[in-house]
Structure 1
Amino acid sequence: MTSELTLYTNPHSRGRIARWMLEETGAAYDTVILDYGTTMVAPDYRAINPMMKVPAIVHRGQVVTETAAICAYLAEAFPDAELTPLPEERADYYRWLFFAAGPLEAAITNRALNVTPTAEQQRMAGYGDFDRAVGVVDQAVARHPYIAGERFTAADVYLGSQLMWFTQFGLIPRSDAIMAYIGRLAERPAHARATALDDGKVEEVIAD
């Protein structure tokens, strides 16, 4: 390995989000493809991420896990890419980055697992209920071309990736606003590069 930055990933995972983010930064990085049944649970990788999940990055000896955190970290680590928010964009940037990583993902995961909170349980669940969480996002992406305003930021990589995945597999409705938003993101050259890289590595991964 030659660079100061390494991505640990699997093409069938949230590692695709981190790959897209890396391509947006323009930084040089090495890639380690892990298999779910073997290398992802091996001691070497458990020392990097004890959760035995991907993605993870190691940058100059520092480990970052959790995909939203990786996006935020890389935006700050490579400021020339201009993926961090301007002062007037910070509120929406942080709001929707963490909403996507928390309430939205929890709502989608529970729906996929056929878990529907009762009215009483909705008070405990950060997302309330599925329709409320998705509706809030639908309204948010309709407000501006990008989630924090007129500029593309790291928050779009994370939220956009989630919405691409969820709509592809029918986990959320394909509203006009959501489809227009992810359509804009899919046109980015870095997204195309990242997709090609991950799709080209699919056959190297041992099936779980």
Structure 2
Amino acid sequence: MYKLYFMPGACSRAIHALLNELEQPVELIARDSVADFKQVNPTNQVPVLVDGDLVLREGAAIVLYLLEKHASPTLPREPELRAEFHQWLMFANATLHPAYSLLFFGARALESDAAKQEVLTRGAARLSALWAIVEERLQDRPFICGEQVTAVDMMLAVYANWGQYFPLEIELGARTRRMLARVAEHPALVRAIESEATVAA
């Protein structure tokens, strides 16, 4: 059985939902329940996935490991389509996620109200521009990689939910909002949210 270190609502939720999608049993361990989590991950971040002796600490690496290990049909076999999937996975994990991280940093770490507001304003503009890229991608498809929900869509849905924590507007296009609404109803993600609430309670 896999072990997944998580925080409710964090990016680990997408990994949890993917495990549900793959019908893999998982033991959930709340990060805050671990006395010294840096012993698990020196960066002090989730997700961390444990599979026997293997410990993976980066979200995109975990996604690719699980999709390949369980031969998920959502990971294309054709080299061009697989490369495109990889590109969007990295966009989510290495471009969009850090843009939200900047907002969290500004809100929590900056003492000057003026500096905090500038970081939040610039961060929101950056995020709006990134979501515009998603909006363009969805011009001819319901989900990022085509006709079905993939781990990329679930990652985007988790990140989009973080906007509620900031007193500013992050613009999401109509197609993006429609996609996010559909992903929010995806059974694997719904089960992840319900399970996390139980463990964290």
Q: Could you tell me the TM-score, scaled by structure 2's length? A: 0.78
Determine the structure 1 residue equivalent to 2:112. none
Q: Which moved more, 1:47-56 or 1:159-168?
A: 159-168
Determine the structure 1 residue equivalent to 2:193. 195
Show CA shifts across 1:149-199 (max 9, x none): 223322222223222433686662232111111112122211111111112
Note the C-alpha offset of 1:73.
1.7
Residue 40 of structure 2 aligns to a residue in which SS? coil
Note the C-alpha offset of 1:55.
1.5
Determine the structure 2 residue equivalent to 1:206. none
* Identical residues among aligned pairs (%): 27
The answer to whether the 8 A contact 1:68-1:158 is kept is no
What do you get for the CA RMSD once the two structures are aligned? 2.7
Distance of 1:129 and 1:192 partners within structure 2: 29
Q: Could you tell me the TM-score, scaled by structure 1's length? A: 0.75
The answer to whether the 8 A contact 1:71-1:155 is kept is no
Cα pair distance change 1:182/1:56, threshold 3 Å: same
The answer to whether the 8 A contact 1:17-1:161 is kept is yes
Distance of 2:103 and 2:3 partners within structure 1: 33
Equivalent of 2:74 in 72, 77, 83: 83
Cα pair distance change 1:188/1:177, threshold 3 Å: same
Equivalent of 1:68 in 50, 60, 84: 60
Show CA shifts across 1:36-73 (max 9, x none): xx726x1xx43331112122011121111122222222
Residue 68 of structure 1 aligns with an amino acid whose one-letter code is A
Once the two structures are superposed, the pairs formed by residues 90-105 of structure 1 within 5 Å of their partners are: 90-105=82-97
| Correspondence 1:161 to 2:163 | no
Distance of 1:173 and 1:95 partners within structure 2: 23
Note the C-alpha offset of 1:86.
4.0
Residue 55 of structure 2 aligns to a residue in which SS? strand
The answer to whether the 8 A contact 1:75-1:154 is kept is no
Determine the structure 2 residue equivalent to 1:34. 31
Once the two structures are superposed, the pairs formed by residues 176-191 of structure 1 within 5 Å of their partners are: 176-191=174-189
Give the 4+ runs in structure 1 shifted more than 6 A: none
Residue 93 of structure 1 aligns with an amino acid whose one-letter code is F
- Structure 1: gaps spanning 5 or more residues: 119-127, 204-208
Q: Which moved more, 1:159-168 or 1:94-103?
A: 159-168
- Structure 2: gaps spanning 5 or more residues: 107-117
The answer to whether the 8 A contact 1:9-1:55 is kept is yes
Distance of 1:130 and 1:183 partners within structure 2: 19
Determine the structure 1 residue equivalent to 2:144. 147
Residue 157 of structure 1 aligns to a residue in which SS? helix
| Correspondence 1:6 to 2:3 | yes
Residue 8 of structure 1 aligns with an amino acid whose one-letter code is Y
Residue 170 of structure 2 aligns to a residue in which SS? coil
The answer to whether the 8 A contact 2:15-2:47 is kept is yes
The answer to whether the 8 A contact 1:90-1:148 is kept is no
